Structure 1
């Protein structure tokens, strides 16, 4: 595996997979630049990393705002001179049946999960097209299979997998990895969605949740491979989950 220190940008880094991945990568010697809307929580994550001897910087970020993402990437590049890896991790998961017509949540899910990922790609692509780089897109096992109430969420995560494959085929010098976890300890289920549906999902999560560190390890594995190796996709499920 590669031992080269990299400049890694992580979206949705104020909690959950993003925060744990930031700590995992910083502990391995990488420089992490953290982005999220909750500036106070983000600063806490960065301060903990620095207290533990790592290098981290926190920048407020709204992935649905193209200018915000462009500024996030430009600031990181100006500070460190390069951007080696982007981890597109920010996401929301308000689940409901389609006939509940929670159309505002549909749009939010598209804006964050899909458009937010595209905004990240658009911001780093000019930097990586010539010198190379690595884009890690966090998808979900619900991008591989659809259940009742997951139609919109699954659609965005399936789209993330599709655009990742297209990006890989268009740019031979950019590594592209898709990480698709199942139930994972996070705040993803904390807001939105149909109350009855989310209560059921919370119950299932309580039985099946994987430690967040498992997903962080998968992301770190993909990043730390030699430059000539592309880990195209990692799917992570608890053994107890059928299918």
Structure 2
């Protein structure tokens, strides 16, 4: 990634990226910073966040690591205040934190159900609560304002044993559609990015043998997406003219047919 230059597409913007310690979140934080944004990275693994921040600052970017669990509403509110004090009003929120577990419903893996619902849904709602006033203020001041979610093709595809994960992502995709009816009137853009198979550590949480085999086979057989591919898409959405809202983008590896 090249050194940040003045006048780049996201100059003067203040971005939040949740789930930023690895994968799509880390890649997106680096890409947004490379395009000129000041980026606050939020995630649970502080050491990993700092590694990403160090890479950004070495290239001339501006970034801040905030070790925060988005399922903790009060902690997230404190992180939001820190960002305002350090960078100013947030005008770009990438709600990306999430987890994936796969199992037959009859296994009754209720701890996995709860973790997915808490992080993929409640964590997103906490993120909205923490930053929606900033987005309102940014839009009212005449600048761009973006609320972007990481959803998944699992929101619409019928994938056996993905029932809880798919349900959480269907919630996110539909939440984005409905939020536009409120926030679009306030000139806040709302977008859902729905990737297919991405080579990240997300599948590492999957211990169902059938799902593990499916993912492993895809990675071996086709040229799957990389985190940087999704990051580039998020950056494209945020850099569009402020009267343009790319509302729902599905990103698939060219060869993926599932």
Q: Per the shorter chain, which TM-score range?
A: over 0.9
How high is the TM-score relative to the length of structure 1?
A: 0.94
Instruction: Say whether 1:75 aligns with 2:82.
Output: yes
Alignment of 1:59-208 (within 5 A): 59-132=66-139, 133-171=145-183, 172=185, 173-208=187-222
Count of aligned pairs: 243
Q: 1:235 to 1:203 in 2, by over 3 A?
A: same
Q: Which has the higher contact order (CA 8 A, sep 6+)?
A: 1
* In 2, Cα distance between equivalents of 1:118 and 1:193: 28
Q: 1:36 to 1:206 in 2, by over 3 A?
A: farther
What do residues 20-66 of structure 1 show as CA deviations (whole Å, max 9, x unaligned)?
A: 11111111111111011000011001011101111111001101111
Q: 1:59 to 1:27 in 2, by over 3 A?
A: same
* In 2, Cα distance between equivalents of 1:181 and 1:206: 18
* In 2, Cα distance between equivalents of 1:193 and 1:119: 28
Q: Which consecutive segments of 4 or more residues in structure 1 shift more than 4 A?
A: none
Post-superposition offset of 1:163: 1.1
**Structure 2: which 5+ residue stretches go unaligned?**
1-7, 140-144
**Structure 1: which 5+ residue stretches go unaligned?**
none
Pick the aligned partner of 1:210 from 225, 229, 232: 225
How high is the TM-score relative to the length of structure 2?
A: 0.89
The 8 Å contact of residues 10 and 32 in structure 2, kept in 1 or not, is answered as no
* In 2, Cα distance between equivalents of 1:185 and 1:43: 22
CA RMSD of aligned residues (A): 1.6
* In 2, Cα distance between equivalents of 1:199 and 1:38: 28
